[in-house]
Amino acid sequence: MKAIILFGHGARDIRWREPFDRLVTLWRDQYVDVPVEVAFLEMMQPSLEEAVSSLADSGATQITVMPVFFGQGGHLRNDFPVLLNVCRKKFPQIALSATPAVGEDKTVLQAIIDFGARAL
Amino acid sequence: MKAIILFGHGARDIRWREPFDRLVTLWRDQYVDVPVEVAFLEMMQPSLEEAVSSLADSGATQITVMPVFFGQGGHLRNDFPVLLNVCRKKFPQIALSATPAVGEDKTVLQAIIDFGARAL
């Protein structure tokens, strides 16, 4: 069974996670057969490992991790691959893959441009 | 003259800013009459004040600042209004407004969902 993890940075202010909760709701409304979890690099729970564990318990066998980051800086180039490898060793029965950061996607960037244009 | 500032967090790794540079290119391709600048909260240049100054020098009189952040946490709720007010005092001739974070926009969130769905 396929599943997806929306992986964000995390922040001290709990309200920072609101868009992540909205993404989960949108996902569940549209892809009911593909379980979704959020996970955070720091300052928020669950961790990537906890999210993988939760999805594995639900029967997931292929998990795609989508970094909900704009830029691919040190966190995604250095920290994230280490976390992914820890999960791969801990859950060898799971096929774990990752997408580029969502900020690499042209349609996401265009949606941001459109939002700015509407706000002028 | 209207102008827009794409305001991001900033990061140590210079490659983190690549999506911002792509946003600027997209904007210039589509809205050639509305000057655009990036600005960063920390770790990258220019600052918000420097970007406002640059646009004011180019003749901008109405500047919209769009926070290219997902969540509205402490940076946007606390730091950003302070920076905006500093700019308003320093450039009283400029009408300076701000949009919500791009992560508040449904079409941006839907574009992220679509990106994830294509990656499964």
Handedness of CA A57, A60, A66, A68 (dihedral sign): negative
The secondary structure of residue B70, as a DSSP letter, is S
CB A3 within 8 A of CB B116: no
A64 contacts chain B (CB < 8 A) = yes
Question: pTM (2 decimals)?
Answer: 0.96
Q: Which residue of A has its CA nearest to B102?
A: A112
Whether A113 sits inside 8 A of B23 (CB atoms) is yes
Sorted by where each starts, the structural domains of chain A and their CATH numbers stand as 2-119 (3.40.50.1400)
Q: Is B75 a catalytic residue?
A: no
Distance (Å, whole) CA A17 – CA A91: 27
> Is residue A46 reached through a cis peptide bond, with omega within 30 degrees of 0 on the bond before it?
yes
Whether A20 sits inside 8 A of B70 (CB atoms) is yes
Per-residue tens of pLDDT for chain B, all 120 residues: 999 999 999 999 999 999 999 999 999 999 999 999 999 999 999 999 999 999 999 999 999 999 999 998 889 999 999 999 999 999 999 999 999 999 999 999 999 999 999 999
